[in-house]
Amino acid sequence: MERDLAGKVAIVTGSATGIGAATARLLAGQGASVLVNFTRSRTEAEATRDACRAAGGTAELAQGDVAQDADCRRLVAAAFESWGRIDYLVNNAGTTKKVAHADLEGLSAEDFQRIYAVNTIGAFQMARAAAPHLKATGDAAIVNVSSTAALNGTGSSIAYAASKAALNAVTMSLSRVLAPEVRVNAVCPGFVKTRWNEAGVGPEAFAARIRKFEADSPLQRTSGPEDVAQSILWLLTGAHHMTGEWLVVDAGSRIGLGRH
């Protein structure tokens, strides 16, 4: 169902590529104004901004590291100064370190702290900075991009899974304190066909993983960034009676082992 988001304003962190870029484009395509955030990938972020504008929305760039509270506050200020309101926040920025779970010596305290700083604390800081503007609209929404790793204890490393599980807890806590004006939910993608995931294992291993995933999942398909973006859009604009929830988007892979 098409939705008219003209006059709405969204911040999408980590939106140079992948799920963030797909979400920014989708929101802009329905008329929203979108703040495209990046840390290092300026060229890709500029391409996302241009795609948002071509899709029919307005978009601006804002560089910033969500692990830094000052940057979070600056991103929010930039969106409000550009458009005078903030309706939606998508906390998509994330990082990891790929370490086999059995390699207990492969993760340091510093690794945990860096991953938490972006994946968990960054989302909290963005929500805190945006909260006054979101509450002022009276019908706003936050979506935190989590992972099925949070539910299964799987993923690229134990630190990553733990950071996403903590993000789910943050989601529930924020949903209470920001209600009733702001709904706060999380989307938990499974394996997604993104450049980020491919870069971690290489093209051949990535292709093999896609084949195995599709063979094992009930829907026999792999989600792309656009599929996750559609779910994020629904949580932002359609799930009016949902808050504090986690929406799994994984082609049924969590139940795949029981498929006959």
Residue numbers annotated as active site: 160
What stretches of 64-191 adopt beta strand conformation (E)? Answer: 88-91, 140-145, 182-189
Instruction: Give the Cβ contact number of residue 86 at 10 Å.
Output: 25
Four-CA torsion 171, 225, 61, 38, nearest 10 degrees: 70
How far apart, in Å, are the Cα atoms of 173 and each of 119, 165, 176, 233, 234? 16, 13, 5, 22, 21
DSSP 13: T
The span from the CA of 114 to the CA of 94, in Å, is: 10
Place of tokens 């804002």: 62
